[in-house]
Structure 1
Amino acid sequence: MVDFLRFHGNLAHLKCIILFNALCLLCTLAADGQVQRRVSGTVIDSLRDAVPGADVFMIADKDTLNTVTDNRGRFAFGGIQAENISLLIMRVGYKPYNMSYVYQEDQLNLILYPITLHLESNLLDEVIIKGRDKPIKIKRDTIEYNASFYQISENDRVEDLLRQLPGVEVDANGNAFTMGKPLVKLRVNGEDFFTNNVKDFIRQLPANIIDKLQIINDYGDEANFTGMKTGDSQKMLNLVTKAGQNNGTFGNASASGGTDDRYGLQANGNLWQGSKQIGISSNSSNTSNDAGINTNAGAGLNYRDKLSNGITASAVYNYAYIKNLSNQLNSIETVTPGGSIRNNSISKSRSTDNNNTINFNIQSVAEKSYFQASLGGSMVKRNRSSETDSKQTGLIRQDLVNNTLSNMETPNLNGNFVWARSMEKPGRSMSGGVTLSTGINQIEEELGNKIFYYNRNNNTPLKDSVVNRLVETENRSNSLTADFRYSEPLRASADSAVKKNIDFAYFFSFNKNRNSLYTRVNNSTGSNSVVDSLSSLYSSSFLLHRFAVSYRYQSKNLNYNLGVTAQPSQLTGEYKGNETKINHVELNLSPIINLSYAVSDWDNFAFVYSGTSAAPDFYQLQPVPNITNLQNVIIGNPNLKSSFTHAGTLSFQHTAENTGATLLLGLNGSLVQDQVASNVVLVKDTLNSLKQETHFENANGAYQFGSMYSYSVPFAKNKFNAELRGTWDYINMVSFANDFLNTNRNINFSQTLKLRMNQRRVTLAGSAMYNYSSNRYSIAQFRLRNVETWQFNVNERTNVGKSWVLIADVLKRINSGYDLSVANPLLINFSVEKTLLKNRQATVMLQAYDLLNQGNNLVRSISDNSITDSQYNQITRYFLLTFTYRLQKFGDK
């Protein structure tokens, strides 16, 4: 029976090919070599959703051209000389489409009505044709993975599928990365998907509805429409579903409870019917640590639908309540020409956040025009209290007890509008956009400080000093950005697949900040009064123009954009009480380079350069002392210039055609002119002791370059996979200490070996990772400690019978070089899951975390001439019982 069906399937395709060749012959008889014509169109399905990745073949006279529809289902051919053309459009899961078209007299541009592909009704799940599809394809800005090449189990999510992809990493929290960059945007079948949140939906969507996964270098919708791609890109994940799986109802509800006052409730539901998307979510949870009970609660609502053909509207609202209590240990080492300063502190903090965000968006995509408009706002309210007890030793001996109460409100409003249009002449386009934003950051702080001073000669106590202050800060910021782009096509070449354009672009940005700072202290009568020397009213503005002209070349294998930009900028500032006004004017020139070369369908080189200007932050400009931390007073410099960063990235991607072995290589580098660097100086206080003051200066010499690689080899029909990946970075940071230029040469090196086995019932993964970090300060009188970490991890998932799942995760970490006393923990997590009900939609899971109770949370950060090691005290050993009911219906299932 299977052979009979396979025979008739092949016969149907043979008829299609014969008919197509007959149409090709008719087109050949009507060729006209004197006129250059163009044809373009959009491919959709029966629900009027775009069909990306469809193969489009065009026959015009003796020419046979082919292309693939983009993420919006669009295709185009140019340089056509024949009066008659034929199109054949094919996509897995759809019936082939073929049609002939005739140009009218003097017609040069043929714009087709949307072409509808209908589902193939005779698809057989049991008939598998192997060897036709490749595991990975490289298409200009896109890496496409064939989902059928990877092993998935019945209940796997897209997250589990992503973990198998070469060059892709998903951490324990569900954040996905590739080539060192996070995946920040999600689309399904080329369309925005609900909130576009990658993390949320890769954990909800089942892996078995996915046909292909595409990781795209995204330059934005405007650039996708006009073809003018400049600057750095973001990584976007586009999921292409199997035929008939572009609609469904899915969601889940769960309740959990465990040790140490842990409990949680969570529910979400999503309705997906092609372009219509409605989602609702809510959650509430309690967790405990050494500081007390943390509480999280939230709710969200999102809606997206097509108002008419090509016009889509969406609205999103989210609310979050976060109550956080934490204990933290910090060890800070600051290097100065006279010696080092060590600060060890213990802090306890309690904070409560209320966050509201809302956004409205409307978008229209037509054959000749595109526009998008959005309006959004947010309101953040935070109440925080903290207690810090720090002991400072080394060059300065002081103890500080600090108590802080603060209230913050941050309302923000933003809106933007983007418009683009393709002109009658093929390749000619223009676009423009405007973005407005305004925001206020208001903070009220009550600061209580008690400082203990010591004799510098014998370290005996001298005296203590108590200071209580009320600090009110308000920062108002307003910004306006606008851009205009125009592209003019050059004379078409003999090869109709080649496009040449001259692009012109103008960008305008204006940012205005107004900052007020009032410091009050209690006087002898009990009332408070303003301290003029610690109060100010400061305003600054940054104006930037960017003019760009470039030459753009596009062909099947080679695409590049070469040009130059001129970026004049002006930084102005003034503050009350000083008649001197700041006015800095600068001009920066930089090239435009964006190049991609496909050596073959499995090998691709790419290079991108970008140059950007940045204004100093307002706190770096404000000349009035900020005494929030009495051991390190911050004083801005109104004479600072804006900085300019040159950055470049070179990447290479190779995939073995038959085996799927993948090699990814990346090189990156950057150089900063006039970087804003801190200058930590030691000054005498009233007791002839020393204290730190942080000032700011412009400095050159900051640069970094690094590399990354990933080599992945699947074998045994992709049931096993080995991957070797690594990174290496050299960072030269600049700062000042007591007015001396200080360089910090920071070397970071990591190496990871990962092995994975994917069987129907057993998934086993193991990894070994080594990290090394080294810092060398030019002003240091001694060799600083290097940090090394070894990490070994094994995780296993076993399906026992039809309804039981066992999951184990074991991690051993070996640390050395940290300033804080840390253990080398062995972390063991274990869970057992039972599937319930006939439809297997309910599960009960018992989870045990850190059975040996050896967990510790340790972080190292480096800034200027200081190294900070931080450790958070949290309960890491606990048990959790969770009941989950999952609603899942896609397509006709």
Structure 2
Amino acid sequence: MIRFLNFPGNLGHLKCIILFHAFILLCSYTVKAQTTHRLTGTVIDSLKDVVSGADVFIIADKDTLSSITNTHGRFIFSGFKADRISLLVMSVGFKPYTRSFQYKEGQQNMDLDMIVLDLESNLLDEVVINGRDKPIKFKKDTIEYNASFYQVSENDRVEDLLRQLPGIEVDEHGNTTTMGKPLQKLRVNGEDFFTSNVKDFISQLPASVIDKVEIINDFGDEANFTGMKTGEPQKMLNLVTKAGQNRGTFGNALLSGGTNKRYGLQGNGNLWEGSQQIGFSSSSNNTNNEAGVNTAVAAGVNYRDKLSTGVTASAGYNYTYNKNLSQQLNSTETVTTEGTIKNDSKSAAKSADNNHNINFNIQSIANKSYFQASLGGSLAIKNRDGDIFSKQTGLILQDLQSASGSNTKTPNLNGNFVWARSMEKPGRSMSAGVVVSSGINQVSDDLRNKISYYDKHTSQLVKDSLVNRFVDTENRTNMVTADFRYSEPLKSRSDSSVKRNIDFSYFFSLSKTRNSLYTKVDNSTGRTSVVDSLSSIYSSSFMFQRFAISYRYQAERLNYSLGVTAQPSLLTGQYAGNEDRISHFELNLSPIVNLSYNLSNWDNVAFVYTGSSTAPDFYQLQPVPNISNLQNVIIGNPNLKSSFTHSGNLSYQHTDEQNGSTLQLALNGSVVEDQVVSNVVLIKDTLNSLKQETHYANANGAYLIGSMYSYSLPFSKNKFNAELRGTFDYINMISYANNDLNQNRNINFSQTLKLRMNQRRLTLSTSATYTYSSNRYSIELLKLRNIETWQFNWSGRAFLNKNFSLNADVSKRINSGYSLTVANPLLINLSLEKILFKNRQGTVSLQAYDLLNQGNNLVRSISDNSITDSRYNQITRYFLVSFNYRLQNFGHKKTR
């Protein structure tokens, strides 16, 4: 059953279409002109904000053509012959717009004046119509969720709405992913929104103002303007608000305090007047339950506004400070051809990070041109002090005590310029862009080490060795990239809405790196002196080009690009003391494949292939030993070549029109040529003992095959929802151990069953997840390293009455296969919340975290021929009292 208001913007749309077609049939006449025409226009509302997703129809002679406005409110029709045209534009919440006009003799193109839609003011009684909601639709590069299909409570934020959408995951920290990929950009009604920070704003915006949620495969503004889409798209979240809700004032103030010296302060405010956006934020808290004990401070201000029609400018500044006190246990197992090395370590560290970011941006979008320029800068200052004690057993018997201090300073500056233009000939366009960046990374390390050597037969102490070093490293990187694209339309049938283009593109990238490394020791006079054998100056450059030609086909349901690229690259390097200049040239050919096919409004299949080159990092090229870790000294290889990665992704998405169920499937794979891998070798020291050294080499054989699926089934009028999702990955990782090729065949499998109940006064969610990970090394075939985890979660929210609500979150984790001794924690979090004030915008809450005090942080990481299990200290049990006041006022009239 669908509920909506009785006004022409909704129920009247069907009448509008019928009357519109009847009028055209009565007024139509035979058209004799043979000139093909092109029609373009932009749709805005009465407040001059663009209207995206509006339905646009034209009647040209006996043909009816349809289109949808893009994120900039633009629509395009081409290839029709009729001189007399009738236009209809409709969007939910606005009055329908109709117009008829005629082309002059010989006129081919017509660009309409701004089409202004007026808000529908006839908001009368509510009408109930029996029918089926359409929860999801597929539109080319976009998945569109109908927000009205999902249950939204009074104080829900957008993140609460996203948690109900099939195929979308929002974790406890607000990080959002879809089909395994993070949502990296946020827009509202097709326009950039404040800082575009997805995590921040989905926790601030009320879900009640949202009409639709769109997940877009975004190829960038330049590609959206020209239609030439290449490379791997980012996932973008676009929120479409209800009519008249594209402005407002929102924010909140939070004050909290509790046991274990926990506290939180937060204040943010945002003024949103369509295109004008002013926001500020500030916070200070130590309630982050991730690794270690954390204190975080943040502040920022952002401004965005239209300077004139189509021209938008923005600026922002953000500051963050993070302090971390951590204690860590590590258990690392390294396999070699000669045996296994076990390393158990304990560490304590404190760190403080200061980060400044500033940006300026200006963007102009006109009927036939696009321009964007930006300037940004950042400064990161990091200080770290730590102590480590590690014990090596197995093939090597050593103890290492290390105390270190590190200071890092990283200033960066970048600029970006993009220009694009549509030509007079319909479909012909060109664009160009330049990006320039410059950065410095300066690190000063004070390393104080004591190594104890043991006899491998008797385990008796043989010798202690004290090694103190001061290491200064400076890495300077300058980079420039440029690209040019040109698209030429191919002739189509005059009565066809199909578009065909030949696209040409060129991309150029040049990066230059200069790395200096100076290692110093205290001499007999009490001064420091440079150790030449552990110091060097190394410079490298990487030049990459991509020439591409492709054929692009665009129709109502089928869109694809097919072509080929040639990608030459040149990696050069030189270091002081060696007159030989290293030079490696590579030429890679790869196809262009980008396909999207909508079988219907509820079925879509898509495939994307990408090929890309990657240069080695400077530390992998640096030929001088890095002694930061004396138990594993790193020595780069200046003869490395660049690697090339082939990646492909196939996806299928389906919504059942009858029961609202959704199915999403994805299959992805990648193969890497000349991958840069480590080569961990064992060498003898002066005591005839062994120590590790890490070198680098190029190797082939790395690949990945992955799959994932999600099936969601709503029932009982969407009051209940069941979802089954899972992943399976097979990864062949390669490395060298003592110059022998080692393959790590890694299998990852996960399966989740989730049930959710959405009622007005009660929301419940429960899930069970099983994960399995297996690692098998080719150089040690008989020993498997498998971990299995069962995770059970239950959460609920109950409204006890109009003003009180009770929240509960319970999870149980069962672990097996880790090297460290681990618990199977049962975590229980409870909170009681009371709504305050007549406007119901204030809340006071009592929160209890980890009532049984069983929280622990356990992580497994895999690197080449080593597996590391880590556990960190945490403060997980504490009680917190919080007062929160939310400011939200949406839909008010514009005052300026």
**Cα distance change, pair 14–552 in 1 and its aligned pair in 2 (3 A):** closer
The answer as to whether partners of 1:262 and 1:288 remain within 8 angstroms in 2 is no
Give the alignment of 1:546-557 within 5 angstroms.
Answer: 546-557=546-557
Tell me which residue corresponds to 2:398: 398
Identity %: 72
Tell me which residue corresponds to 1:847: 847
Deviations 1:774-805 (A, max 9, x none): 00000116413310000111000011111101
Mapped to 1, the partners of 2:188 and 2:530 lie a distance apart of: 57
Mapped to 1, the partners of 2:290 and 2:524 lie a distance apart of: 40
2:428 matched to 1:467? no
Alpha-carbon offset, residue 576 of structure 1: 0.1
Q: Which moved more, 1:289-298 or 1:555-564?
A: 289-298
The answer as to whether partners of 1:471 and 1:517 remain within 8 angstroms in 2 is yes
The answer as to whether partners of 1:499 and 1:553 remain within 8 angstroms in 2 is yes
Mapped to 2, the partners of 1:417 and 1:69 lie a distance apart of: 26
Tell me which residue corresponds to 2:722: 722
* Aligned amino acid, residue 381 of structure 1: I
Mapped to 1, the partners of 2:143 and 2:716 lie a distance apart of: 23
Alpha-carbon offset, residue 495 of structure 1: 4.4
**Cα distance change, pair 289–703 in 1 and its aligned pair in 2 (3 A):** closer
Tell me which residue corresponds to 2:35: 35
Deviations 1:579-611 (A, max 9, x none): 111011110000000011111111111000000
* Aligned amino acid, residue 226 of structure 2: T
Mapped to 1, the partners of 2:40 and 2:583 lie a distance apart of: 51
2:761 matched to 1:761? yes
Mapped to 2, the partners of 1:770 and 1:288 lie a distance apart of: 26
Give the alignment of 1:708-857 within 5 angstroms.
Answer: 708-780=708-780, 782-857=782-857
The answer as to whether partners of 1:89 and 1:96 remain within 8 angstroms in 2 is yes
Give the alignment of 1:509-548 within 5 angstroms.
Answer: 509-548=509-548
Tell me which residue corresponds to 1:874: 874
* Aligned amino acid, residue 559 of structure 1: N
Alpha-carbon offset, residue 25 of structure 1: 3.1
Mapped to 1, the partners of 2:652 and 2:521 lie a distance apart of: 61
The answer as to whether partners of 2:836 and 2:842 remain within 8 angstroms in 1 is yes
Mapped to 1, the partners of 2:306 and 2:503 lie a distance apart of: 32
Mapped to 2, the partners of 1:674 and 1:21 lie a distance apart of: 62
* Aligned amino acid, residue 331 of structure 1: S
Tell me which residue corresponds to 2:217: 217
Mapped to 2, the partners of 1:122 and 1:40 lie a distance apart of: 30
Tell me which residue corresponds to 1:352: 352
2:334 matched to 1:334? yes
Deviations 1:358-379 (A, max 9, x none): 0000001111000110000000
Mapped to 2, the partners of 1:292 and 1:7 lie a distance apart of: 56
Deviations 1:427-468 (A, max 9, x none): 000001000000000000100000000012211110100011
Tell me which residue corresponds to 1:168: 168
**Cα distance change, pair 449–600 in 1 and its aligned pair in 2 (3 A):** same
The answer as to whether partners of 2:292 and 2:872 remain within 8 angstroms in 1 is no
Alpha-carbon offset, residue 408 of structure 1: 0.6
Mapped to 2, the partners of 1:298 and 1:231 lie a distance apart of: 34
Give the alignment of 1:547-696 within 5 angstroms.
Answer: 547-696=547-696
Tell me which residue corresponds to 1:100: 100
* Aligned amino acid, residue 341 of structure 1: I
**Cα distance change, pair 79–437 in 1 and its aligned pair in 2 (3 A):** same
**Cα distance change, pair 11–522 in 1 and its aligned pair in 2 (3 A):** closer
Deviations 1:408-430 (A, max 9, x none): 10000000000000000000000
Tell me which residue corresponds to 2:286: 286
Alpha-carbon offset, residue 6 of structure 1: 5.6
2:436 matched to 1:422? no
The answer as to whether partners of 1:77 and 1:496 remain within 8 angstroms in 2 is no
Mapped to 2, the partners of 1:527 and 1:500 lie a distance apart of: 72
Q: TM-score, normalised by structure 1?
A: 0.98
Tell me which residue corresponds to 2:147: 147
The answer as to whether partners of 2:168 and 2:177 remain within 8 angstroms in 1 is yes
Give the alignment of 1:309-320 within 5 angstroms.
Answer: 309-320=309-320
2:357 matched to 1:370? no
Mapped to 2, the partners of 1:348 and 1:144 lie a distance apart of: 48
Give the alignment of 1:3-152 within 5 angstroms.
Answer: 16-17=16-17, 19-25=19-25, 28-29=28-29, 31-32=31-32, 34-124=34-124, 126-131=126-131, 133-152=133-152
Mapped to 1, the partners of 2:116 and 2:780 lie a distance apart of: 70
The answer as to whether partners of 2:725 and 2:752 remain within 8 angstroms in 1 is yes
The answer as to whether partners of 1:93 and 1:123 remain within 8 angstroms in 2 is no
* Aligned amino acid, residue 630 of structure 1: L
Tell me which residue corresponds to 1:861: 861
Mapped to 2, the partners of 1:340 and 1:560 lie a distance apart of: 51
Alpha-carbon offset, residue 497 of structure 1: 1.6
2:508 matched to 1:508? yes
**Cα distance change, pair 6–608 in 1 and its aligned pair in 2 (3 A):** closer
The answer as to whether partners of 1:31 and 1:60 remain within 8 angstroms in 2 is no
What 5-or-longer segments of structure 1 have no aligned partner? Answer: none
Alpha-carbon offset, residue 35 of structure 1: 1.3
| 2:577 counterpart SS class | coil
Q: How many residues align?
A: 890
The answer as to whether partners of 1:27 and 1:59 remain within 8 angstroms in 2 is no
Mapped to 1, the partners of 2:15 and 2:214 lie a distance apart of: 32
Deviations 1:818-855 (A, max 9, x none): 01000011111100001111111110011101101111
Deviations 1:104-148 (A, max 9, x none): 121101101110100000124622445375111111110101111
| 1:127 counterpart SS class | strand
* Aligned amino acid, residue 103 of structure 1: Y
The answer as to whether partners of 1:27 and 1:82 remain within 8 angstroms in 2 is no
* Aligned amino acid, residue 138 of structure 1: F
**Cα distance change, pair 10–181 in 1 and its aligned pair in 2 (3 A):** closer
What 5-or-longer segments of structure 2 have no aligned partner? Answer: none
The answer as to whether partners of 1:420 and 1:429 remain within 8 angstroms in 2 is yes
Q: Which moved more, 1:463-472 or 1:118-127?
A: 118-127
The answer as to whether partners of 2:841 and 2:886 remain within 8 angstroms in 1 is yes
Alpha-carbon offset, residue 891 of structure 1: 0.5
| 1:839 counterpart SS class | coil
Alpha-carbon offset, residue 273 of structure 1: 0.4
Mapped to 2, the partners of 1:524 and 1:9 lie a distance apart of: 87
**Cα distance change, pair 593–288 in 1 and its aligned pair in 2 (3 A):** closer
Tell me which residue corresponds to 2:203: 203
Alpha-carbon offset, residue 404 of structure 1: 0.5
Mapped to 1, the partners of 2:773 and 2:125 lie a distance apart of: 52
Mapped to 2, the partners of 1:149 and 1:768 lie a distance apart of: 25
Mapped to 2, the partners of 1:198 and 1:176 lie a distance apart of: 8
**Cα distance change, pair 483–448 in 1 and its aligned pair in 2 (3 A):** same
Mapped to 1, the partners of 2:318 and 2:8 lie a distance apart of: 53
Mapped to 2, the partners of 1:291 and 1:539 lie a distance apart of: 37
Alpha-carbon offset, residue 871 of structure 1: 0.5
| 1:649 counterpart SS class | strand
Mapped to 2, the partners of 1:840 and 1:10 lie a distance apart of: 31
* Aligned amino acid, residue 792 of structure 2: F
Mapped to 1, the partners of 2:81 and 2:290 lie a distance apart of: 76
* Aligned amino acid, residue 829 of structure 1: N
* Aligned amino acid, residue 390 of structure 1: S
Alpha-carbon offset, residue 14 of structure 1: 7.4
The answer as to whether partners of 2:163 and 2:169 remain within 8 angstroms in 1 is yes
